[in-house]
Amino acid sequence: MNETLLLRGGRVIDPAQGVDGTLDIQVVDGAVTKIGAGLEAMGRTLDVSGCIVTPGFIDLHTHLREPGFEQKGTIATETLAALRGGFTTICAMPNTNPAPDAADVLRSLRERIERDARVRVLPIGCVTRGRAGKELAELAELAAGGCVALSDDGNPVANARLMRNAMELAAAMGMPISEHCDEPELSHGGSMNEGRVSERLGLPGQPEAAETSAIARNIALCEATGARLHIAHVTTARGLELVADAKRRGLAITCEVTPSHLFLTEEAVFGPGAEPAYDTNAKINPPLRTEADRRALVAGVNAGIIDAIATDHAPHAVEDKLCEFDDAAFGISCIETALATVTTLIERGELELGAAIRALTSGPAGVFPFPPDLGSLKTGARDITVIDPAHRWTVDPRRFASKGRNTPLGGITLSGAVRAVVFDGTVAYEMEPAGA
């Protein structure tokens, strides 16, 4: 049930409206009705002084694992994790079993979402049947069924002719394609970034060229077809340069970066000690790159070249990571630490606050065809995230709501936490008091 609510005295930042000031927010009948100073209290008052108040976060890239991999995560557990991370809208990637490649599978997925989700979940459909890269999925059915984008997720569409056909059809339907840009012939067998650290550890690496060559190809196909192309989790400085050039030329291209690639480098695989840790929790695809790449990505967020910070949240069961490095699954469980890694970078003076909030709210809201009230605090908006930037906490994966405990951040102290979340007009989450 919705409640009448006043959020009083926070620093309200809404990039979509150019708002940044100490203000109150009034929520009546589940929707924002007014933003201003000294508003009259109605119903419940939430004192958010000292906090930053923003639109609800939007995640363009989340793995819920259900159906098919419920031992890793479920719609219920992972959307609760998203809520605790400040995300009120998430896009579910299609690497499930069965994969949503036709109307009947999508319909079943949407029924599960309606039953179990704690936040707004918008499905992403497959580009090819079974994400196998052989023949196109039922793209028109997926568009009509409510998918906000098309993607084969971690399976790049390697066949250029097939990708061109997909882009032409997607363009005709007004559907964006989100592509994991990778050249499998270059990256196959690589378990981390190819470079100094992989050589020191004796691990096979994925070269930068695997990403950049695929980005270049897909930009060319985007230009040829007029499709809307979204580059998922860009990780390299050179890849970002290619995206920036395409944007300057007016192509319909957007991109995202993960908080993991903003905060960590390939050194996380080695670990902090003198002896190599071979930390499988730092194994992610695309891999963590160099410090130079990380700094370029941070600069890309600050400059607005990167449209969104998207988690690529990838929960795994313990056995998926408790094995030899080469055999371990790719992915980091990070939706509950995403905000804190971002605010820690802000505290360090690397990320700019306004740019980071934009990349979590209005930026992603403009990438896929979302409902018009998302990503802003304008009148009628129903989602709000409250951030306590001064809260310091130590990451303890055992306290995650996610089934996935696979994070390389365990034991690390971060600054910034989600204080409260209003979802669909109701306070859906509040941080537990200290010591609770």
Alpha carbons 428 and 149: distance in angstroms, whole number: 27
DSSP per position, 328-388: SPP----TTTHHHHHHHHHHTTSS-HHHHHHHHTHHHHTTTT--TTTT--STT---EEEEE
Cis peptide bond N-terminal to 286, omega within 30: yes
Q: How far is CA 347 from the centre of its chain?
A: 21
CB of 348 within 8 A of CB of 2? Answer: no
**Cα 95 to Cα 329: distance, rounded to the nearest angstrom:** 14
Number of Cβ atoms within 10 Å of the Cβ of 186: 18
d(CA 74, CA 68): 9
Helices (H), 87-207: 103-116, 139-144, 160-173, 184-187, 196-201
Contact 268, 201 (CB under 8 A): no
CA nearest neighbour of 235 among 168, 288, 298: 288
Phi, psi of 152 (to 5 degrees): -100, 15
Do the Cβ atoms of 429 and 84 come closer than 8 Å? yes
Q: Which helix (H) or strand (E) holds 292?
A: helix 291-303
> Is 312 part of the annotated catalytic residue set?
yes
**Residue 35 DSSP SS3:** strand
* H-assigned helices in 32-92: 75-84
**Residue from 312, 320, 383, 388 carrying the catalytic annotation:** 312
Rounded-to-integer distance, Cα 282 and Cα 284, Å: 6
What number of residues does the chain have?
Answer: 436
User: Do the Cβ atoms of 137 and 102 come closer than 8 Å?
Assistant: yes
> If you search the block for the tokens 């499998």, which residue do you land on?
184
Task: Identify whether 433 is preceded by a cis peptide bond (ω within 30 of 0).
Answer: no
Question: Which residues participate in catalysis according to the annotation?
Answer: 312
